[in-house]
Structure 1
């Protein structure tokens, strides 16, 4: 059987192929997609022609087959040139018509997915916020109760501390008032040890108050007085003389101004109380 391409005029195909290749190269220069598809079509055209020649020929003549290959190359080149010319135009039309519609559809679907995703995230955020608010609302009474309990504990501790400090202050002032009389019977170091061992903050205010009363009784006994009793005076002059001596002794002690002022105030209050008691007893 004769070759399918045995009668093909090689030169009649070569000139148009060169023209198509030249023009097509200019058209496809900036369109890589059209160039790729053109090469694929031309390659397919070449393989198809060779395959048909092999399948339809009775025997393969090397000379005739080489001519067929050459002709197939020229035809494939012509197809490549035509594709380079036509495909950019077709792709451009596609992108401006169907492609533009497809792109708009894709953009619409993409934006729709984004809106749905944002809506879903917003719903989850609102649900989470509602759950947090419900949890806070549920725990609010408990938190308020804990806060009130903490405030009560704080006030209780402050009151306990204030009472302990008041007891220590009273004992210290009583000792300072009679420091000269007590210096041989109750030394300051011993008083400090009482404060540290028995009147410290580790004990409750009630316990410190009870022990403070015992300490004041001990100081009074060291002075030769009964707890809560006052010295007996026969006249107002004796009272004035006694407290004048007390003030002189206090002023000779090395106390700071605030402590001296506190002791002087305490002496004045005691003097005034003794004067009232003396006057009420003798009138």
Structure 2
């Protein structure tokens, strides 16, 4: 008799994968805690996870972290959204036109390879030490991953679909919204996911080169006062924000990939 294979739903597969990740993180933290307690390294160099957790709790309990967190997240959110809107629109236009792609591709590749962080001081000179400089640095770091992935997605759309849109006399706007954008959506979401980390780096970099508040400034002041627990606490907070934001985009990315099948 042929044996029937039992198919597992995507939700169940995700649920089965989750404990492994949680166990891995918990095991790593326990090992870190054990090694610090056994070898007792210099607390100016490294501290235990329990100390980091206590520092984070104190930062939120006293509310001292909120002004820096709010300012940094404002700069990240505004810069990220503006960069995404521009990059997606421009990427679809470049991907849809072979001539435009040939003219702009060298510029896109060159600018993507340029160390934008090195231009952060210039942006701060231009936009000042306020929110505008954070937004400018975030846009500069975020726009190219989204743009490159959007172009790749638009160019990956089958020419059969484009020709079908021409046959049905679809307008340019309808071709963009009903053919190119849905076809490029998985690539766009991948670009958005990759851009999260670069955007958070941009916020910190903008603070390091001059700011009145922000998580980057908090890190700089902690380093100057040799407050290692606070350095680790703010770094862990940034990593947690990156994980959460990336996880949200990854969720929609998986849904988009399933919708394409």
Which one has more relative contact order, counting CA pairs under 8 Å at least 6 apart?
A: 2
Q: TM-score, normalised by structure 1?
A: 0.24
Choose 1 or 2 for highest CA Rg: 1
